[in-house]
Structure 1
Amino acid sequence: MSTFARTRGAAALTAGAVSLALLTACGGSTEKAADDKPAAGASAEAGKGAFPVALKNAWGNTEVKKKPLKVATVSDGDTSIALALGVVPVITPDVEDGGKVPEYKQRAIDKLGAGKLKTYDDTDGTAYEAIAAEAPDVILGVNTWEMDKDYDKLSPIAPVVTYTDKKQADTMTWQERLKTAAKALGLEAKAEEVIAASAKVTSDAAAAHPEFKGKTYTYTVVHPEQISFMSYGAQDPGVFEQLGFTKTDKAKNYAPDKNGVSLENLDQLDADVLLLTYPFGDRGVISPAELEGNKLFQSLNAVKNKHLAVIPSETNLASSLAYPDPLNAPWVVEKLTPILAKAVAGQ
């Protein structure tokens, strides 16, 4: 998981060839294996694993006795994992703001011919009864922060696939989450295909933009409580660095628990390219107009030379940067690359 942010839903914030590769990563064949006839809500894939599958988790052990055909999910990230593997969940939490499905997710749904996903209202948390009513063969929960309170109520319904250590709720990469789920679903070969396709999208974009290589960047998120220096030294290399950018020397001054930047220290944000996002709009600690009108901010080389870009939050790009998953990771590259190209060019 990206360490850019921790609050899902608040958007806390992380060309033709790219689009083609994106579709490869985001869908999954709907071709059915000869010996499996998936029930409504699931699609079987080639590359089945052997069953039964035994998986340890932070609360005990999970055994999946036979290839699951009905899969329930307890988070949006888990839904993305299922869809990327070519599996349409029988039920998933309703996380869409105003019913609008993100572009990357809709692409996968359309590719699988799934129509509208069946959802439960997650306003008050996981809806155990709604999940039980669908009689799932397995429940995916490798991308949730709620498993500590959910596990005991979910495990009597169906085998729960989740992380082996509670700390992994924050630390697992999307690739690791995908592989864990894929093992339980007998789709390990498909997971490797998805990971390879996503990596190719990124490497192709980097090769197409050699001007990115070696440019320093700062990624800044305006939260309600502070202006946050998110590309701090200990932050794992993310999509910016995979595309060729490097952290500034100021990154070493910041850490996950020490990343606030005061108005008096806005010079700390300067870099070859400065990237900002305002996921809370005017509810941030400072409004976009106030920050961008600040004299010290205006004196930054990145600002003066127009090497500044705002990452939009209304399109799910900022939240996808914060929370990469198998569907949005290649989509982020597709949408972010032209923004970065303009910033590097000073346009």
Structure 2
Amino acid sequence: MTRPRRAARSAALITALALTALTGCAAPPAAPESSAPADGFPVTIEHAFGETVIPEQPERVATWGWSTADAVIALGVTPVAMPFQSYGGDEQGVLPWVREALDDAGAETPIILTNTGEDIPYEEIAAADPDVILAQYSGITQEQYDTLSAIAPTVAYPDQPWTTPWRDVISITGTALGLETEAEAVLAGIDAEIAAAAAAHPEFAGLTLATAWDVGGVFYVYADEDPRVEFMLDLGFVNAPAVDTLDTDESPFYFTLSYERVNELESDVLVVYGNSDDEVRAVTEGGYAQSLPAIEQGAVAELVGVEFIAAVSPPSALSLTWGLDEVVAQLAEAVAARG
């Protein structure tokens, strides 16, 4: 595809940063002019900040946020740049399932972008010379979106920051890259693995499930809208009524519960997350939860370890199947403990 020189990209970035400093918000870029070629481009993707036109099929893809790089790689494309992931990543900031996928494809590690949280390394992204920037599971602001758009067409989240369902992350990536058929195949493959796991464990069907994490002195309960719960429900479990009853609506995906009320979180099976065994024991051996039926019966699935939690928080095109066997094994042990 015809692409501008890197110097032009750098100049655009400098201009965008200057406009941001002067006005507090860079002017959004004009939609590229392009005739519709046979391959289906240009494509237009709507999102929280308007719409983005991608004039030609991208060859150089940069990602920002969580799980989008996974979707790109699952579709057979190696990003030119992706963010450092401190939670669950290796020394280079690469998550284990991403590392495995890159190795399997014989691909080199992309440029790893400095990731300090709120700040975006615009210069590093511009230096990677992307054709498109995908950030559909991120927390970018309008100002950041405008600045990124001066580098390359940028796709933000459809609605709210950090809330894009993992299936939508994959489908949006497929649309942006002109690989919609491939995206459908990836989704179908994941669904088939989940269905096979459910079929292998009919004992899961209809049992109530609650998921929790006691970390930093705060007890979190995850709602059924949370992706880490959603795929467990796909295995046959149902959301425990106590979860809905106790839900404080402080977030679409989780709520916090005082220790005085933890004993109300009744379910057939309790899933407990923990970075370490000590975090799990804080729940399973803590006095505040001992009256829970699941704990009394030992029907507790303990999902322990930074990498493992990262794989399902939320799951991605690569991580869900990477961690699925362990999740299913832990759930099966918990169900068996009920007798």
Q: 2:84 aligns with which of 69, 73, 94?
A: 94
Per the alignment, in what secondary structure is the counterpart of residue 129 of structure 1? helix
* Aligned length, in residue pairs: 294
* Other structure's SS at 1:69 match: coil
Cα distance, 1:128 vs structure 2: 0.8
Task: Work out the CA distance in 1 between the residues paired with 2:157 and 2:78.
Answer: 21
Is the aligned partner of 1:215 residue 2:211? no
The one of 167, 175, 179 aligned to 2:167: 175
TM-score of the pair, normalised by structure 2: 0.78
Aligned match of 2:135 in 130, 141, 150? 141
> How far does the alpha carbon of each residue in 1:17-46 deviate from its partner, in whole angstroms, 9 at most, with x for none?
xxxxxxxxxxxxxxxxxx9xxxxxxxxxxx
Q: Relative to structure 1, is the Cα distance of residues 154 and 295 closer, same or farther in structure 2, using a 3 angstrom cutoff?
A: closer
Given candidates 23, 31, 51, the residue that maps to 1:61 is: 51
* Equivalent position SS for 2:107: coil
Distance (Å, rounded) in 2 between the aligned partners of 1:122 and 1:146: 13
Q: 1:137 to 1:270 in 2, by over 3 A?
A: same
| 1:277-335 CA distance string (max 9 Å, x none) | 124886xxxx5444433345333332222211211132x22233221221112223222
Map Cα deviations across residues 145-185 of structure 1 (whole Å, 9 max, x no partner): 124342111111111122344x2x34431222222221121
Look up the SS of the partner of 1:87 in the other structure.
coil
1:264 to 254, 260, 264: 260
Give aligned-pair identity as a percent. Answer: 30
Correspondences of 1:1-347 after superposition (within 5 Å): 49-95=39-85, 96-99=89-92, 101-123=94-116, 125-165=119-159, 167=160, 169-231=161-223, 238-255=230-247, 256-257=249-250, 259-279=255-275, 288-314=280-306, 316-346=307-337
**What is the distance in 1 between the residues matched to 2:262 and 2:75?**
43
Give the direction of change, closer, same or farther, for the CA distance of 1:162–1:296 in structure 2 (3 Å limit).
closer
Is contact 1:138–1:159 with CA below 8 Å preserved after alignment? yes
Unaligned ranges ≥5, structure 1: 1-34, 36-47
Shift in Å at residue 200 of structure 1?
0.3
Q: Would you say the 8 A contact 2:263–2:290 is kept in 1? A: no
**Is the CA contact (8 Å cut-off) linking 2:242 and 2:267 kept in structure 1?**
no
| Larger Rg, first or second structure (1 or 2) | 2
Moved more, 153-162 or 304-313: 304-313
2:264 counterpart letter in structure 1: Q
Distance 2:280 2:195 in 1: 33
Tell me, yes or no, if the aligned pair for 2:272 and 2:302 is still in contact at 8 Å: yes
Structure 1 Cα separation of the partners of residues 284 and 317 of structure 2: 34
Superposed CA RMSD: 2.6
Question: What CA deviation, in whole Å up to 9, does each residue of 1:78-103 have, x standing for no partner?
Answer: 21121111110111111135336433
Q: Is the 8 A contact 1:76 1:92 kept in 2?
A: no
